[in-house]
Amino acid sequence: MRQEELTIRPQGKTEEYFINMGPQHPATHGVLRLLLTLDGEIVKKVDPDLGYIHRSIEKMTEHDTYRQIVHLTDRMDYLSAHINNEAVCLAVEKGLEIEVSDRVKVVRTIMAELTRLSSHMLWWGVTGMDTGALTTFMYAFRDREMINDIFEETCGARLTMNYFVPGGMMWDIHPNFQKRVKEFIAHFKTKLPEYDLLLSDNVIFRKRTEGIGFLTKEDAISFGVTGPGARASGVSCDIRKKQPYSAYDRVQFKEILGTVGDTFDRYRMRILEMWESMHIIEQLIDNIPEGEIQAKTNAVIKLPKGEFYQRVETARGELGVHIISDGKKSPYRMHFRSPGFANLSVIDHVARGWKVGDLVAIMATFDFVIPDIDR
């Protein structure tokens, strides 16, 4: 409900009070604690409190070898596991100055887009749930299961794949891979319109999201918001377009941009991105070139002295991997610029003046994965 409509106040004096939302709260999707300052139901201030799932991943990298680091990134934004793996691999490959084969590039891109689809599906399911529609969760998980099966068959794991290694990938794609991906795309093309029917056009959902939680283009830029959350405000920030990596330079796709920047616009971005992801996969799936699976690298990779930076577009926004190497087998310092952290910083700004229930909808459309924020 819009702030302007709330002009009639009860008589008498009101007092601000604090309430803890989380760390155990279903709408925070993990162990995030939001310290809310409320005046009645109106959010006056949101103070996110982090650290409940901090695992020192950046510190751990300082005594792990580059091969070992890859799997740690599975556990940051676990819904973008493939893309995180890819980011580290690309950064290490940059340092080693090796070029992976076209086959690896294409497979990485397909996997990344499947990951994005799977992540957006899960997000769609829980966004419905956050706004009171339980059915969406069942729909999303039904279709997401197909992607998980594809991952399991090729990568040997369903969530934390650890499939990409510096120089290539762990093993070649499964013989069934192309067939099953095509089956999935055909299936999902019929299901995605159903998602729209079920939720996007739902009048209750529209009421909960349209015109709620505006974020202006300027604010999105100044807070460093990336991903669909920023693109809804009209910020063109898709790394796949700006700095194409892997096989993104050889495929056609649109960068989805919004105009309004409200909660529904952020929702719409992801639905449209799913169509684009399917479009990317369709272009590549029949054109996987032959090539070696792994470039020749030493068992213990040593990067030359220097700094290496690689950014990729995860399902949540821009992930930057910054390696500072002193020539040893472990990085001197490794930093992850995770999209969730920057996106969280804007939540106070966006949610002020809206009701607690709107805060849940706003948070849902920023799609937070808490281990990505905390690392």
Partner 1 sequence: MSFFKLKGTLRPLTALKQFAKLPHTLQYPEIPVEASDRYRGFHYNEIDVCIGCGNCSTICMNEAIDMVDVPDVDGEKGDSGLRPRIDYGRCCYCALCVDVCPTGSLAMTKDFLHVDDNPDNFLWLAGIANPEGKEKLSYTSSIEESLNDFTRIPMAELEGKERVKSFAEVVLGYSKQQAQEEAARCISCGLCTEACPDHMHIPEYINAIAAAKDADALRIIYDNNPLPEMCGKVCTRRCEDVCAIGTRGEPVAIRWLKRYATETAINAQMTREIVDPEIKVPNGYKVSVIGAGPSGLTAAYYLALKGYSVTIYEANPKAGGMTMYGIPKYRFPIESIDKQIQYIQSIGVQINFNTKVGKDITFKEIYDQSDAVFMGVGFPKAWTLGIDGEDAIGSMQAVNYLHIINSDEDVEIGNKVAIIGGGNVAIDAARVSARMGAEVTMLYRRRVKDMPADREEIEGAEDEGIKIEPQAIPIKIHKDENGKVKAIEYLKAEMVPDDKGGRPRPVAIEGSNTILEVTSVMAAIGQQGDYSFLEDEFLERIKVERGRFIVDENQRTGDPKIYAGGDSANRTADAISAIADGFRACKAIDRMLMGGE
Number of residues interacting with partner 1: please give it, by CB under 8 A: 36
Closer residue to partner 1 in complex, CB, 200/216: 200
66-74, 110-118, 181-189, 239-247 -> range binding partner 1 (CB under 8 A):
66-74
The yes or no reply on residue 222 touching partner 1 (CB under 8 A) is no
Closer residue to partner 1 in complex, CB, 149/282: 149
5-13, 250-258, 279-287, 293-301 -> range binding partner 1 (CB under 8 A):
293-301
Dihedral of the CA atoms 370, 373, 374, 375 (nearest 10)?
100
6-10 LR contacts (CB < 8 Å, sep 24+): 6/42
Q: How far is CA 374 from the centre of its chain?
A: 14
Which H, E and C letters describe 97-126, residue by residue? CCCCCHHHHHHHHHHHHHHHHHHHHHHHHH
The yes or no reply on residue 326 touching partner 1 (CB under 8 A) is no
Which residue in 160, 216, 283, 345 binds partner 1 (CB under 8 A)? 160
The yes or no reply on residue 132 touching partner 1 (CB under 8 A) is no
How is 26-90 classified by DSSP, letter by letter?
A: GGGTEE-EEEEEEETTEEEEEEEE--TT---HHHHHTTS-HHHHHHHHHTTSGGGHHHHHHHHHH
Closer residue to partner 1 in complex, CB, 19/204: 204
The yes or no reply on residue 145 touching partner 1 (CB under 8 A) is yes
Number of helices followed by number of strands (H, E) in the chain: 15, 10
Compute the distance between CA of residue 219 and CA of residue 346 in angstroms, rounded to an integer: 8
The yes or no reply on residue 154 touching partner 1 (CB under 8 A) is yes
Closer residue to partner 1 in complex, CB, 71/250: 71
Among the listed residues 41, 45, 38, 42, the one whose alpha carbon sits nearest the alpha carbon of residue 19 = 38
Which residue in 14, 20, 24, 68 binds partner 1 (CB under 8 A)? 68
Give the interface with partner 1 as residue ranges (CB under 8 A): 60, 64, 67-68, 71-72, 74-75, 133, 135, 138, 142, 145, 149, 152-157, 160, 162, 170-171, 174, 194, 197-199, 201-203, 206, 298-300
